[in-house]
Amino acid sequence: MGLYLPDLIVRSLWPPVEPARQALAAGGFTEPQVQQIIAESYDRPAVLRGIRAASAKTVRLFQAHGLLDLPDVRQRFADAGLLPGPGP
């Protein structure tokens, strides 16, 4: 289960982009403009930093109970950008 938690955390905390996309389109922006606004507003590294901050207590709890000591689990959390450090 520990191998799947990083993806679950990231997917759960990733901001919903579709409502913003729909609102921008309804506001008269062209599709290329919508894509540019979304890309600038939901910059992947910035979003991942926010997710790392929001999930920090949960990740520390997992670590305190040995979950990150299981084979490959720590690497999955690191690859997902959920551990302290530069992230992906």
Owning domain of residue 27 = 5-79
- From residue 60, how far is each of 1, 10, 66, 71 by CA, in Å? 17, 16, 10, 17
Average pLDDT over residues 17-22: 96
Whether 87 is in a domain gets the answer no
Q: What is the pTM of this model?
A: 0.80
Whether 85 is in a domain gets the answer no
Whether 33 is in a domain gets the answer yes
Name the one residue in this structure whose structure tokens are 């450090």: 85
pLDDT in tens, 65-82: 999 999 999 999 999 999
Domain count, the chain: 1
pLDDT in tens, 39-61: 999 999 999 999 999 999 999 99
Whether 88 is in a domain gets the answer no
Q: What is the pLDDT of residue 84?
A: 82
